[in-house]
A = this chain, B = another copy of it.
Amino acid sequence: MAAVGSEKTGSAAVMAEGVATAQVAADLSSLVAAEVTRQVAALRSELDQAIAELRERTPEDRAALVVFSGDLDRVLAAFVIATGAAAAGLETSIFFTFWGLSALKKKGATVAGKGFKQRMFAAMTPAGTESLGTSKLNFFGMGAVMLRSMMKEQGIASLEELMAMARDLGVKLTACTMSMDAMGIAKEELLDGLGYGGVAAFMADASRARVALFI
């Protein structure tokens, strides 16, 4: 009886132990998982921070151009690069400043109430893409006519076609408001659908871009 009792007790203990062991095993798994998670969390957070710091300074898939020049050849180069960048998958923006604003002028738009100097500047700067001259060999516009004609013969897109292409590809065009103020250019004189901003707008794009060029 005692033997039976002890056997019973023994088997009860083994059973209890079996249950406890199963419980321990189950607990253990989650205990281990939790402890590993806890200990790995420190590493994860450390590396996440290192990666976040890099990410903040890693260029995005962007290109940002400044078009300072109002020369036909340079504006052409800018739009060839911009459409090339957009076609390569980069979010592309062009910031037009100083003489570059001439490329954004709406044909035939005039604004009343300009000062004398502003009117003089307007009279002496191109009134839209079709009046842009070349930076070299312009000869009062002959260089531009020749360049355009040679490009057409070769089936190369014109500036106006490139600008339309750029807009279709989602290239963002921004007019420099400080230059507009300095030169007395009103929004009504410029193309529709432009963005407006100062140097801060350009820096915001350029400092995140893979490619930033001053043209």
Contacts and interface: CB of A to CB of B under 8 A. Distances in A.
Interface of A: 1-3, 5-10, 12-14, 16-17, 20-21, 24-25, 27-29, 31-33, 35-37, 39-40, 43-44, 46-48, 50-51, 54-55, 57-61, 63, 66, 68, 70, 73-74, 77, 80-81, 83-85, 87-88, 90, 97-99, 115, 117-118, 120-121, 124-125, 135-137, 146-147, 149-151, 153-154, 156, 178, 181-184, 198-200, 202-204, 206-215
Assembly stoichiometry (copies): 3
Between A1, A9, A149, the greatest number of chain B beta carbons within 10 A of the residue's beta carbon is seen for A9
B21 A29 contact: no
Between A7, A88, A150, the greatest number of chain B beta carbons within 10 A of the residue's beta carbon is seen for A150
A13 B5 CA distance: 12
A-B CB proximity, top 4 nearest: A6-B9, A5-B6, A84-B199, A2-B2
Nearest to A82: B199
26 contacts: A2-B6, A5-B5, A5-B9, A6-B9, A6-B13, A10-B13, A14-B20, A24-B25, A28-B28, A29-B31, A36-B36, A36-B40, A40-B40, A47-B47, A47-B48, A51-B51, A57-B60, A58-B58, A63-B207, A70-B136, A73-B98, A81-B202, A84-B200, A85-B203, A121-B137, A125-B136
A115 B153 CA distance: 11
Nearest to A208: B210
Contacts of A43: 40, 43-44, 47
Contacts of A63: 203, 207
